[in-house]
Each structure stands twice: as C-alpha cells, then as structure tokens.
Amino acid sequence: MEIAKIDFFIIFIYFIAVLFIGFISSRKQTKEGFFIANRALNFGNLIATISASLLGGGVLITFVAYVYQYGLSGIWFIAGISIGVLMFLLFYKKLKALSDKNNFYTLSDYFYHKYGNKLGLLSAVVIFIWAFCLILMQFIAGGKVLSAILGTPYASSVLIMGTVVFIYLVLGGFNAVVKTDYFQYGTIVLLAIVILFPLSQKTSLISGDLQLGEMGVIQSLAFLFIGAFNVVVSADIWQRVYASKNSKHAKIGIIGSSLLIFFVGLILSIIGLAAKSNYPEIEPDQALVYGISNLLPTGLLGMGLVMLFSVIMSTLDTMLFIVAMNISNDILVRFNSTSKEVSVKSTRFLILLLAVIGMLIAIFVQDIISVGFSLTGIGLSLAPVVIASFFKELKIKAAFLSVLSGLASICIVLAAGIIGPETSVISLPVSAVFLCIGQFTFKN
C-alpha cells in the first residue's frame, strides 16, 4: 500500500479543521451551550449527529468483519441499528417534554428522576462501562487507520488522535461535537460514494454471499436485537433528543438518520464482500481497513482512509463527552454535599483524564470485536426498564432488580470467556424476566 504525499496534507487539513471548529464553538460559550447545545438542534443537525455517532469506526469494523465472514447476512446488524433509532418514535414526545421540564442532560438523569438514587447510580455505572468500551473501540479502530495513513506506529497514532479530540472537546463541548459531526457526516456519505464503483468492480460473489440467512436464524436475530436494543439505551441518542429544538425536529431527525444509516451500511457492505473475494485468508476484523487499503486505486486510497478516520473520530468525541458528563453530572454532583450543579471545569478535566486512560488501554488491548460484544451486553441490561417505563408505571425495586440481574448475567458470560453474538444478548431476556418477576413480587 502506497500513501501519496497529498494524503499527509489531507489528514493535516482535517486536524486543523476540527480544531478550528472547536475554537469557533468555544466563542461566547454558555454553560447550556457547552453541555447540551442550548437545546436548539434542528432536524438537519440531528440527522447528521445521530448518523455520525452511531456509524462509528468500531461499529463499521465489526459490521464489515461479519460481512466478510457471512456475506450480506451481516446487514442484520445495521438493520438492527436502524430499527433501534426508529424505536425512539414510540416515546420521543414524552422524553422531550420531560427533559425540557426537568433540565435533563444525560440518560441517568431520567433514571434518577423516575426511580431515585439507587437505580440512577446503577444506570450511571452501566452507562460508564458501556460508553468507555466504545471509547476503546474508536481508539483501536482509529489507531489502525491513522497508522495506515501516516505510516506511524500504532501507539503513536492513538496518541495523536486522542490529543486532537481532547483539544477541540475541551474548547467547544457538546457544541463542538455537533458541529464536527456535521462536517464528518458528509464524509460518511462521500466515503460510501467513493468506494461503491471501484470496489464493486473487484468483487466476485458466490451464491452464499447474498443470502440473508447465511449466518443462521439464531445469530441473525441476535444481531438484530444487538443493534436495535443497544441503540434504545444509547446515551448519545438520548442526549440528541434532549438537545432538539422541539419534538417535530426530533421526529424528522430520527426518521432521517435511520434511513441514512441503513443506506450507508448497505453500501459499505461491499467492502466486506470485496475483501472476502480478493483476500480470503485475512482476519475478519482487518477486512475494513485492509479492503480500503488494498482495493481502492491510488487516487482514492488516501481519501478513503482519511474519510474512514473522520467517521471514527465523530464517535470518539461523542463518547468521551458522554462519559465525562456521566461522571460529573450523574455521580460527582449527585453525591457532592457542597455543589449540586455540574461544572464545566470538572467536565473538561474528566475529558482529559478519560482520553489519557483510553489511549493507554487501547495501546495494549487491540481485539475490537471482543470489546464490542462486551459493551453490547452491558448496555442491553437497561433496555427492558427504559422501554417499559414509557408505557407502564414500574415499581422501583423491580426496575433495580431488572438492571442488576442483566448486568450480573453479562458478567458471568464474560467471566466464562464465551462472549459472542448469541451470548452477548443474554442480559436482555434476563433483565426482562426479572422485571416481570419484580413487578408481580414487590409491593409498591
């Protein structure tokens, strides 16, 4: 693989652009702007930021890896994500009204409001683990891509991207996240268009590659559930609904981003099919980067990698901000007797701390698929309570038991070393069953 000098220039311009966006976002910055973009996002902002955050590098690498292994049936994963976004249509009006009335910033704010401190804190712990795993996925994916672009060691690449994200996040906060997502959203669509024709010319399909049931019914359903219910409890999507201008803009943003995600996923599946056709001996989690690196013509190679890198960065900045807010707003403020208001200063410090810790772990842990399934199972433990809470008055003890049992089940699976598509969803039925048991057993 040969990277032209122009590609070094492109990545340099990209870094300058996102840093400039961070600087612009910091001007006349208010506390509400830093944390929630003044609750003024229109549907265009929402489509861009939801799509960019959900189609991150970790998701794309995992998705393309399974297309490489199972053919087009891997699309069930992306279909699940699209369905998960649409599921917000079931409760977005109630959620938006509740968040405006009570000034919510995070998903755990909802749990604290509905079910008190115990479940609020437990949800904060679950979200912390879930989102931090996503941070690791982006550092791992981004480090590999940037290393391919610049030819720098993997560790150096991780440190470079972490430093850039930290700077513009500290400057602009959530405003910077949204504005860079707008910039990076365009790269997702452009990447899909750029790779479509050249890769389709290098793909020789066998009959099984186009079978939607190639991976089997159980695994297909597992992917569908993983994608759908993981999105329902995605703290970043909740924050986008909170930040919407009104429920009308939220609705259009939800529908538009769902359609865009599926469209882009369908096109990007060509990378996995082309890599499988031309390089059947590589590791599945190498299919995305290896496919782009070796199958795109020289004129498009660097551009494709740079655009892929920007997609990864869009999810990394979102998750760093989510976890920093998770700690400052959902843990520190809740149990601080001297101050009950979340601090911009403490959130900025936490962004730095989390970036450093994430970079160090990502340098030594590079198995992105295992990390992905671990976080999926953890997040799913919240799903039954989240969905049921909008349609039925849940008992506090039942809700707490549901989340705790789901979290315990995924911990058992992880300890047993049997994490995978089928086992990572175990927390979903376990949480649902114990929620039902708790509803019938506990008194109000």
Dihedral pair phi/psi, residue 349, rounded to 5°: -65, -40
CA atoms of 433 and 110, how far apart (whole Å): 22
243: pLDDT confidence band, cut at 50, 70 and 90? very high
Tens-digit pLDDT profile for residues 80-120: 999 999 999 999 999 999 999 999 999 999 999 999 999 99
What domains are there in the chain, each with its CATH number?
5-367 (1.20.1730.10)
Predicted local distance difference test score (pLDDT) of residue 96: 95
Predicted local distance difference test score (pLDDT) of residue 100: 94
Write out the H or E segment, with its range, that includes residue 186.
Answer: helix 154-200
CA atoms of 183 and 260, how far apart (whole Å): 16
> Locate tokens 């699940």: which residue?
80
Q: Is 337 exposed, middle or buried (0-12, 13-18, 19+ CB in 10 A)?
A: exposed
Q: Is 28 left (phi over 0), alpha (psi -120 to 50) or beta?
A: left
Tens-digit pLDDT profile for residues 393-409: 999 999 999 999 999 99
CB atoms within 10 A of CB 241: 23
* Crossing angle between the packed helical segments 107-150 and 57-70, to the nearest 10 degrees: 70
The alpha carbon of 95 is separated from its chain's Cα centroid by a whole number of angstroms, namely: 20
122-131, 300-309, 383-392: least confidently modelled range: 300-309
**How large is the average pLDDT for residues 335-363?**
82
**pLDDT for residue 282 is more than 90:** no
DSSP per position, 40-86: -B-HHHHHHHHHHHHS-HHHHHHHHHHHHHHGGGGHHHHHHHHHHHH
**pLDDT for residue 370 is more than 60:** no
Q: Is 217 exposed, middle or buried (0-12, 13-18, 19+ CB in 10 A)?
A: exposed
- The residue type found at 383 is A
**pLDDT for residue 191 is more than 60:** yes
CA atoms of 332 and 342, how far apart (whole Å): 8
Q: Give percent above pLDDT 90 in the chain.
A: 33
CA atoms of 178 and 26, how far apart (whole Å): 13
- Nearest alpha carbon to residue 388 among 423, 431, 440, 443: 431
Give the three-state DSSP class for 127: helix
Mean pLDDT for the chain overall: 84
Write out the H or E segment, with its range, that includes residue 393.
Answer: none
